[in-house]
Amino acid sequence: MKKPEEILEYLNQKFGEDQLTLERGDIGEPWILVPASMIRDLSKFLRDDSELRFDMLMCLSGLHYLKEEELGVVYHLHSTKLDHYVTLKVRVPVEEPEVPSVESIWKTADWHEREAWDMVGVVFDKHPNLKRILLPDDWIGHPLRKDYVQQEFYQGIPTGE
Amino acid sequence: MGMLDKKYHDSNIIIVGLESALNWARKNSLWYEQFGLACCAIEMMATAASRYDFDRFGIIPRSSPRQADVMIVAGTVTMKMASRIERLYEQMSEPRYVISMGSCSNCGGPYWEHGYHVLKGVDKVIPVDVYVPGCPPRPEALLEGFLKLQEKITGETIIVKKNEADKKPETA
* A64-85: pLDDT as tens digits: 999 999 999 999 999 999 999 9
What CATH number is attached to the domain comprising A66? 3.30.460.80
- How many CB atoms sit inside 10 A of residue B108's CB? 21
Q: Which of A119, A158, A137 is nearest to B79 (CA)?
A: A158
In chain A, the number of structural domains is 1
Q: Please state the ipTM of this predicted complex.
A: 0.73
Contact A62, A119 (CB under 8 A): yes
- Check pLDDT > 60 for residue B168: no
- Give A-chain residues touching B124 at CB under 8 angstroms: 157-158
Measure CA of the first residue to CA of the last residue in chain B; give whole Å: 32
Q: Are B74 and B41 in contact (CB under 8 A)?
A: yes
| Partner residues linked to A92 by β-bridges | A71
Which residue among A148, A159, A161 sits closest to B79, beta carbon to beta carbon? A159
Q: How far apart are CA B136 and CA B151, in angstroms?
A: 23
Contact in structure between A126 and A100 (CB atoms under 8 Å) = yes
**φ/ψ of residue B68, rounded to 5:** -100, 150
* Region of poorest pLDDT, from A3-17, A64-78, A121-135, B149-163: B149-163
The yes-or-no verdict on residue A132 having pLDDT over 70 is yes
In the predicted model, is pLDDT for residue A22 greater than 80? yes
pLDDT of residue A18: 81
User: Burial letters for A114-153: b for 16+ Cβ neighbours within 10 Å, e otherwise?
Assistant: bbbbbbbbbbbeebeebeebebeeebeebbbbeeeeeeee
Going by pLDDT thresholds of 50, 70 and 90, the confidence category of residue A160 is: confident
Identity at B40, one-letter amino acid code: C
CA distance B130 to chain A (A): 20
Which of A154, A155, A160 lies nearest to residue B120, judging by beta carbons? A160
Cα–Cα distance, A85 to A56 (Å, whole number): 10
**Is the dihedral angle over the CA atoms B105, B107, B110, B116 positive or is it negative?**
positive
Tens digit of pLDDT for each residue in B95-147? 899 999 999 999 988 998 888 889 999 999 999 999 999 999 999 999 999 99
Helix axes B40-48, B139-154, angle to 10 degrees: 70
Task: Choose the weakest-confidence range: A26-30, A156-160, B73-77, B84-88.
Answer: A156-160
Measured from the Cβ of residue B53, the count of other Cβ atoms closer than 10 Å reads 13
Instruction: Count, in order, helices (H) and strands (E) of chain A.
Output: 3, 9
CA distance B5 to chain A (A): 50
Amino acid at B162: K
Structural domain including A39 reads: 4-158
Burial of B85 (0-12, 13-18, 19+ CB in 10 A): buried
Instruction: Report the gap between the CA of A94 and the closest CA in chain B (Å).
Output: 22
Instruction: Using an 8 Å CB-CB cutoff, list chain A residues near B112.
Output: 161
* CA–CA distance, B150 with A97 (Å, rounded to integer): 57
Whether the per-residue pLDDT at B9 is higher than 70: the answer is no
Helices (H), B92-164: 102-107, 139-154
Contact B79, B45 (CB under 8 A): no
Q: Hey, what long-range contacts does A148-156 have (CB within 8 A, 24 or more apart)?
A: A148/B116, A150/B116, A154/B79, A154/B82, A155/B82, A155/B83
